[in-house]
Structure 1
Amino acid sequence: MNRREFLRNSGLAAAGTGAALTTAAEGETAPAAKQRPNVILFLSDQFRWDFVGANEANSSTKTPHIDAMAERGVNFTHCVTNQPVCAPSRSVLFTSRYATETEVWHNGPGMKQDLPTLAAEFRKAGYTSNLIGKWHLAPGAARGGGPGAVPEQWRGGFLDLWEGANALEHTAHPYYGTIYDRDGKEITYKDQYRVDFITDRAEKFIREKHEKPFFLFVSQLEPHQQNDLNRMVGPKGSAERFINAYVPPDLRAFPGDWHQQLPDYYGACESIDASVGRLQKALEETGQKDDTIFVFFSDHGCHFMTRNQEYKRSTHNSSVRVPFIVDGPGFNRAQQINELVGIIDFAPTLLEAAGLAAPTSWKGHSVLPLLEGMEARKAWPNKHLIQISESMTARALRTKEWTYCVADISGAKKAASPTYLEWQMYDQKNDPHELVNLAGRKEYAAKAKELKAELLELMAYAGESATISDATLYP
């Protein structure tokens, strides 16, 4: 049974969201738009899951505002991105389709324009859809676009407030830069940390009067590296304050550039937490906090050049495991959910939380049933497909217990391959830092065969067809 069949047959519906779903079959009527909650989707680019204090995996993190969200809301502790690269991950987020289906299988292409998007679905239901910060889903320069202003047809349904840049890392620096309004006019900043500038714009929006419920995407670049400087840049003083900070075990076991980058990375994460706190305070002071669903998450993690020659694009937890914390109406439950969920599930979850039905073409599933008790959790599939591009062409199955990765060893960098070789296999229970690759070991051959079959099933669900050869170490 695949994930869609599970949810269709389980009969589990989310309770406590304050709104009923509207479906043609049931003939129910959705609540009036003004009764629906606002939704804020706060993305911090390249923020590792274990740098959230509430996840209790890092003794040096200072994230009191995000931790407070986790304490009063729902903390999904095992969330993965379905594609650990900026643009592909975002395309999955907004369309609930796999990156090979959105046509954004690597950084550069524009997102396929005939797919239903989360922003457009909210607007259809009477919301305004608004963006502040980084987008990355319009065509890049190689395809007639660029890093700056984004034409309306490439905004993925964000047709109300628009204050962003297609690739913020190329139009802005940590202490100066430019974003663009809906008419393509420049909005500049100088002598101010970029996180604070984006937060100022978002706080201004929150404090305005809103006649309709709003969907706001706040897309911060930090703690992502500044590309042309080839390093992370935290607020001034970060390097000194975090010079002897905790080093996660998956990093300290390997060479990389974490020695140089971690202090600024910690500082940038701390600044992101302050941004979350400011926006939460603005909601409270304007009387909107009880009516606003607030989501904190990241598009992918960061392995600091320990797994390949850059920061992500691998199947390891440091690349694919991300924070996902939600509070607000329907989520104020003080819950920790340990089942495996994916970014592909975000859009249908948020629509259901607002009392809206997801398009039938979406391939993710609402995670709201997981909030309702052990029966739903026992039935949850706990498996996700991860597509890898740019560093190599690879596919991975991620479960709570295992990571199983196959790769095109020809070195070709393409959307997909017809043939793969078993490449990596990690025991998440006994080796959570993924220090020992079990692929090709005789004693794990039976488990590898089982995981291969599950991976092929998920690949078929994503519209892919391929064969997988066993690792050559098998006798």
Structure 2
Amino acid sequence: MKRITLLICLLLFTPVLRAAKQPNILFIFSDDHAYQAISAYSDGRLNKTPNIDRIANAGVRFDRCYVPNSICGPCRAAILTGKYSHKNGFLVNGNKFDGRQQTFPKLLQKVGYQTAVVGKWHLGEHMPPMGFDYAEVLIGQGPYYNPPMLKNGKRTKHIGYTTDIITDLALDWLKNKRAVDKPFMLMYQHKAPHRNWQPGPKHLNTYDDVTIPEPATLFDDYKGRGTPAKTQDMSIAKTMTLNDLKLVPPPRYFTPEQRNVWNAAYGPKNETFRKANLKGKELVRWKYQRYIKDYLRCIASVDDNVGRMLDYLKETGLTKNTVVIYCSDQGFYLGEHGWFDKRWIYEESLRTPFLVHWPSVTKPGTVNNDIVSPIDFASTFLEAAGAKVPNDIQGRSLV
């Protein structure tokens, strides 16, 4: 892969600017957020994401960012280490990440950064996240409501919607817990919009009055392709569970108030569905609408909270010296080929959104078509911070 020379085509910064002050780094990470579901990429065909779009409008939108491994944990390990899965040892979800190895947060600490991770970790609970001055992370995948978390290795409990809680905790760290005389690197990582797509209270009825466009291949017949495509286990028609489709009661860990709000939203819609007695393609179309609307509702909450974070940076003047990145751990099928989920190396799964704003460095509204990967993030962050990039890191700096 050719080296991306952003010095020429994107960042256009000088060594003097780089050396003047180490930038803060805010890494905003979501889970399973398809590029198709960001309006900066899609012109709003499916949904509007005005706050995420703020990053693209002020900076660079990368259109060919491909993940090294289209599954949650392995991609996260690759980002931390700058190494492919066979090198960092984290091959599949359920492995235990070896936090003793070299990671870019540890290297940033050595050049004066204060580091924190808040939200989804998904690299095992066998040891606290290493390389961070502060860590409060979900246990495993974590639920959408009332998440138990691990704060520097100790269990905590929160009541509310997880996307909101992660933002509350990240903002609290920025406001009250960090050392203001040091540059920071904050990994602000959402669980949403991962399966099973449970929307927050604010957005339970968002999109009720619209029909989301169907992808052209929703009823793909897989002609000319091998048996795996025909026999996969991630089809909207056959694989989605009653839980995915919200046709069962909400989880027992909901509070009474959360349960009442949930039932008020889904009860009437589910009753209408049951009376319709849909069959065949009409049933698949209903499943697609239920799936895609819940997925987009989860993204609406992410976008709201990204807005909260960006507003705080602006209000406090931190925007001026903060590199803001938005990315996801992989893409996702939004009905293409009749599928949901990820894993398979089709464009929708392998390609992930990647947006960067570096004030006074990136040119607003830039679109870049070079092939890049999350494997490149570690060396990029290190070089931006003025740190030496170790020779064994496999990713290439985008700076």
TM-score with structure 2 length normalisation? 0.75
Query: Using the alignment, how far apart are the partners of 2:200 and 2:4 within structure 1?
Result: 44
Pairing 1:307-318 to 2, within 5 Å after superposition: 311-318=341-348
Q: 2:197 aligns with which of 232, 254, 257?
A: 232
Query: Using the alignment, how far apart are the partners of 2:45 and 2:124 within structure 1?
Result: 39
- 8 Å CA contact 2:122, 2:139 repeated in 1: yes
Q: Which residue identity does 1:302 align to in structure 2?
A: F
Going from structure 1 to structure 2, the CA distance change for 1:182 and 1:16 (only over 3 Å counts) comes to: same
Q: Flag the structure with more relative contact order, 1 or 2, with Cα contacts below 8 A and sequence separation at least 6.
A: 2
Query: Using the alignment, how far apart are the partners of 2:217 and 2:26 within structure 1?
Result: 32
Q: Which residue identity does 2:199 align to in structure 1?
A: G
Query: Using the alignment, how far apart are the partners of 2:148 and 2:165 within structure 1?
Result: 10
Q: What is the aligned partner in structure 1 of residue 168 from structure 2?
A: 200
- 8 Å CA contact 1:19, 1:353 repeated in 2: no
Pairing 1:373-412 to 2, within 5 Å after superposition: none
- 8 Å CA contact 1:298, 1:323 repeated in 2: yes
- 8 Å CA contact 2:118, 2:187 repeated in 1: yes
Query: Using the alignment, how far apart are the partners of 2:149 and 2:327 within structure 1?
Result: 22
SS at match of 1:43: strand
Pairing 1:354-365 to 2, within 5 Å after superposition: 354-365=385-396
Pairing 1:10-409 to 2, within 5 Å after superposition: 16-17=12-13, 19=15, 31=19, 35-56=21-42, 58-113=44-99, 115-138=101-124, 145=126, 151-152=127-128, 155-158=129-132, 160-169=133-142, 173-186=143-156, 188-190=157-159, 192-208=160-176, 210-225=180-195, 231-236=196-201, 238=203, 240-243=205-208, 244-251=211-218, 253=220, 255-256=235-236, 257=240, 258-303=288-333, 311-329=341-359, 330-368=361-399
- Shift, 1:367, TM fit: 2.1
* Greater strand content: 1
SS at match of 2:63: strand
Greater CA deviation, 52-61 or 98-107? 52-61
- 8 Å CA contact 1:304, 1:310 repeated in 2: yes
Q: Provide structure 1 residue ranges, at least 5 long, that are not aligned to the other structure.
A: 22-29, 140-144, 146-150, 226-230, 369-475
Going from structure 1 to structure 2, the CA distance change for 1:344 and 1:219 (only over 3 Å counts) comes to: same
* Greater helix content: 2
- Shift, 1:193, TM fit: 1.6
Query: Using the alignment, how far apart are the partners of 1:305 and 1:343 within structure 2?
Result: 25
Aligned sequence identity (%): 27
Q: What is the aligned partner in structure 1 of residue 267 from structure 2?
A: none
- 8 Å CA contact 2:326, 2:355 repeated in 1: yes
Q: Give a deviation string over 1:105-152, Cα, whole Å, max 9, x none.
A: 10112223453211111111100110101111236xxxxx4xxxxx34
Q: Which residue identity does 2:397 align to in structure 1?
A: S
Query: Using the alignment, how far apart are the partners of 1:296 and 1:42 within structure 2?
Result: 5
Going from structure 1 to structure 2, the CA distance change for 1:357 and 1:82 (only over 3 Å counts) comes to: same
SS at match of 2:29: strand
Going from structure 1 to structure 2, the CA distance change for 1:333 and 1:57 (only over 3 Å counts) comes to: closer
TM-score with structure 1 length normalisation? 0.64
SS at match of 2:388: coil
- 8 Å CA contact 2:214, 2:335 repeated in 1: no
SS at match of 1:297: strand
SS at match of 2:194: coil
Query: Using the alignment, how far apart are the partners of 1:129 and 1:343 within structure 2?
Result: 19
Query: Using the alignment, how far apart are the partners of 2:26 and 2:398 within structure 1?
Result: 17
Aligned length: 331
Query: Using the alignment, how far apart are the partners of 1:364 and 1:52 within structure 2?
Result: 26
